[in-house]
Amino acid sequence: MKKIAFVLVSVLCLNFLSKADEGMWLPQLLGDKIYANMVKQGLKLSKEQLFSINKSSIKDAIVLFGGGCTAEVVSNQGLLFTNHHCGYDNIASASSVAHNYLKEGFWAKSKQEEIACPGLSVQFLIKLEDVTTQVQEKLKGIKPTDVAAKLPAILAELSAKASEGSGYEVRISTFFKGNQFLQFTYQRFKDVRLVGAPPESIGKFGGDTDNWEWPRHTGDFSIFRVYMAKDGKPAEYKEENIPYVPVHFLPVSLKGIKDGDFSMIYGYPGSTNRYETSFGIKLKVDIDNPNTVSLRDARLKCMYAEMIKDPAVKIQLAGYYAGVANYWKFFDGESKQLIKHNVIAQKEKEEEAFTTWAKTKPEFDNLFTNIKNNYTNWQPYAKHRVYINEGILGSPLLAFANSLKALDNALSAQPQKPEEITKITNATKTAYDKFIKAENIVSDRNILAIVTKLFYADVDADQRPQAFYTNLKTGFGSLESDETYTKYAKQVFDNTFLLNKDAWANFITKPDTATLHKDLAFKTATAFTDNYTKNYAKYATEFNANNYALNNLYLKGVLQMNKNKDMYPDANQTMRISYGNVKSYTPRDGAYCKEICTVKGILEKYKPNDYEFDAPAKLIELIKNKDFGQYADKKTGEVVVGFITNNDITGGNSGSPVLNAKGELIGLAFDGNYEALSHKIAVDKDFNRTICLDIRYMLFVVDKLGGAKNIIDELTLIKN
DSSP state for residue 118 in the 8-state scheme: T
The CA distance from 372 to 556, in Å, is 18
As measured in angstroms, the least distance from the Cβ of 616 to ligand ARG is: 18
As measured in angstroms, the least distance from the Cβ of 649 to ligand ARG is: 9
CB of 263 or CB of 690, closer to ligand ARG:
690
As measured in angstroms, the least distance from the Cβ of 206 to ligand ARG is: 7
The answer to whether 499 and 493 have CB atoms below 8 angstroms apart is yes
CB of 211 or CB of 278, closer to ligand ARG:
211
Q: How many residues appear in the chain?
A: 720
Residue of 75, 93, 395, 654 marked active site: 654
Closest CA to 696 of 585, 578, 618, 598: 598
| Active-site residue flag, 517 | no
CB of 60 or CB of 671, closer to ligand ARG:
671
As measured in angstroms, the least distance from the Cβ of 88 to ligand ARG is: 8
Angle between helices 520-535 and 441-458 (to 10 degrees): 30
CB of 318 or CB of 382, closer to ligand ARG:
318
CB-CB neighbours of 79 under 10 Å: 23
Q: Look at the alpha carbons of 145, 150, 151, 152 in this order and tell me if their dihedral is positive or negative.
A: positive
As measured in angstroms, the least distance from the Cβ of 450 to ligand ARG is: 22
CB of 215 or CB of 557, closer to ligand ARG:
215
Decide the pairing of beta strands 252-253 and 717-718: parallel
| Active-site residue flag, 220 | yes
Residue ranges with strand state E in 114-202: 115-116, 122-130, 169-175, 180-189, 191-197
Residue of 21, 60, 84, 85 marked active site: 85
| Angle, CA 581 vertex, CA 206 and CA 202 arms, to 5° | 20
The CA distance from 633 to 651, in Å, is 29
Decide the pairing of beta strands 191-197 and 657-659: unpaired
- Which residues neighbour 589 within 8 Å (Cβ) at sequence distance 6 or greater? none
Closest CA to 183 of 110, 243, 109, 130: 130
- Three-state SS string over 195-240 comes to EEECCHHHHCCCHHHHCCCCCCCCCCCEEEEEEECCCCCCCCCCCC
CB of 177 or CB of 296, closer to ligand ARG:
296
HSE value, Cβ hemisphere, 13 Å, CA-based, for 476: 21
| Active-site residue flag, 217 | no
As measured in angstroms, the least distance from the Cβ of 681 to ligand ARG is: 16
- Which residues neighbour 107 within 8 Å (Cβ) at sequence distance 6 or greater? 195, 196, 702, 706, 707, 708, 711
As measured in angstroms, the least distance from the Cβ of 104 to ligand ARG is: 19
3-state secondary structure of 437: helix
As measured in angstroms, the least distance from the Cβ of 652 to ligand ARG is: 8
The CA distance from 505 to 500, in Å, is 9
Closest CA to 248 of 507, 468, 50: 50
The CA distance from 23 to 571, in Å, is 9
CB of 183 or CB of 656, closer to ligand ARG:
656
The answer to whether 280 and 680 have CB atoms below 8 angstroms apart is no
Q: Is the bond preceding residue 396 a cis peptide, omega within 30 degrees?
A: no
Amino acid at 144: P
The CA distance from 519 to 515, in Å, is 6
The answer to whether 448 and 394 have CB atoms below 8 angstroms apart is no
Binding footprint of ligand ARG on the chain (CB under 6 A):
85, 204, 207-208, 211-212, 322, 325-326, 651, 654, 670-671
As measured in angstroms, the least distance from the Cβ of 95 to ligand ARG is: 17
The CA distance from 674 to 211, in Å, is 9
Residue of 60, 208, 220, 519 marked active site: 220
As measured in angstroms, the least distance from the Cβ of 655 to ligand ARG is: 9
- Which residues neighbour 544 within 8 Å (Cβ) at sequence distance 6 or greater? 148
CB of 445 or CB of 680, closer to ligand ARG:
680
DSSP state for residue 365 in the 8-state scheme: T
As measured in angstroms, the least distance from the Cβ of 680 to ligand ARG is: 11
| Angle, CA 634 vertex, CA 633 and CA 638 arms, to 5° | 40
DSSP state for residue 358 in the 8-state scheme: G
- Which residues neighbour 188 within 8 Å (Cβ) at sequence distance 6 or greater? 121, 122, 123, 169, 234
As measured in angstroms, the least distance from the Cβ of 685 to ligand ARG is: 21
Q: Which residues are catalytic?
A: 85, 220, 654
